[in-house]
Amino acid sequence: MPASPVDRLFSLDGQAALVTGGSRGIGLAIARTLGAAGARVAIVARRTEWLGPAEASLRSAGIACAAFQADVADPAQVERTVAAAQAAVGDLSILVNAAGRSWGAPAETMPPERWHEVMNANATGTFLMCQAVGRGMLARRYGRILNIASVAGLAGSPPEILDAAGYAASKGAIIALTRDLAVKWAPAGVTVNALAPGFIPTRMSEVAIQRAGQALLERIPCGRLGSPEDLVGAALCLVAPSAGYITGQVLAVDGGMSAA
């Protein structure tokens, strides 16, 4: 039977994807969705303890998957991992940068070494992965890159909601990088977009969410926190054939928080 219009828009059959931060939380949810849509998936994470279970859960769902331990802020590790991922799942047509770190502290007392850790993991890591995977996409004249930013990169936050200047700055840098690469790489058929999640309970965000409490919920028009599952539909749309004319965009998935 010929493919349906929905399949032509959203099927990832025959494609290969790499997802950083893919061992848990947002990254794992997106990896699972890409695999369910037909992609072969490589997941990357800095810590090994979650990689094995994540790989096993994806394979148990019938998804062709390979897992790699790497620090995305290390250029040599990035190059080796991208080469290994391509050998395992094929030429990469999709890249999702979901790896990240945070450090909560008032800006006036934040240790500079923590600032550098956050900026390197989030902004530098995203750039290095885009660079390493993007070369192949440019050569093949097709690619979809999705960077996971944050509403913290769109506007400032009161300290009682979020006090993490390094995190906010790193996510703002990811947004700027997304827009710049989108303009540079669009002529070669490579789209670059970003999601800006609101407050999604994950291991990284749980302390900040607990600290903000009811004050945070009152700032969200939808009246609830998000979940990784709230992001996966938008993520699939932006990496599928459906997004061929969408590039340089930052989509907030935040329950209306950034519009309030």
What is the DSSP code string of 48-103? STTHHHHHHHHHHTT--EEEEE--TT-HHHHHHHHHHHHHHH-SEEEEEE------
pLDDT tens readout for residues 144-179:
999 999 999 999 988 887 888 999 999 999 999 999
Lowest mean pLDDT of 33-42, 116-125, 156-165, 197-206, name the range.
Answer: 197-206
- Residue 1: pLDDT band with limits 50, 70, 90: low
User: Which residues, in sequence order, are CB contacts of 73 under 8 Å at separation 6+?
Assistant: 120, 121, 124, 125, 128
- Specify the residue for token string 């998000």: 226
Q: Specify which residues 144 forms β-bridges with.
A: 94, 191
Q: How confident is the model at residue 2 (pLDDT cuts 50, 70, 90)?
A: low
Amino acid residing at 154 = L
Give the full edge-to-edge strand order of the sheet including 92-97: 65-69, 40-45, 16-20, 92-97, 143-148, 190-197, 250-253
Lowest model confidence (mean pLDDT) among 16-20, 81-85, 151-155 = 151-155
Question: In sequence order, what are the residues at sequence separation of 6 or more whose Cβ sits closer than 8 angstroms to the Cβ of residue 242?
Answer: 9, 10
pLDDT tens digits, 130-148: 999 999 999 999 999 999 9
pLDDT tens by residue, 25-64: 999 999 999 999 999 999 999 999 999 999 999 999 999 9
Element (H, E) at 193: strand 190-197
DSSP assignment letter at 164 = B
Backbone CA torsion sign across 160, 166, 171, 172: positive
Band (217; pLDDT cuts 50, 70, 90): confident
**Number of neighbours of residue 56 by Cβ within 10 angstroms:** 12
**In which band, very low, low, confident or very high, does the pLDDT at 199 lie, cut at 50, 70 and 90?**
confident
Catalytic (active-site) positions: 167
Q: Are strands 40-45 and 250-253 parallel, antiparallel or unpaired?
A: unpaired
Domains of the chain: 12-254 (3.40.50.720)
**Tell me, what's the pLDDT at 211?**
76
Q: Answer whether residue 204 shows pLDDT above 80.
A: no
pLDDT at 7: 84
Give exposure, 163-176, as e/b (b: 16+ Cβ within 10 Å). Answer: bbbbbbbbbbbbbe
Asked whether the predicted pLDDT for residue 119 surpasses 90, the reply is yes
d(CA 54, CA 22): 8
Q: Where residue 77 falls among pLDDT bands split at 50, 70, 90?
A: very high
Averaged pLDDT, 225-244? 95
Does residue 205 carry a pLDDT above 80?
A: no
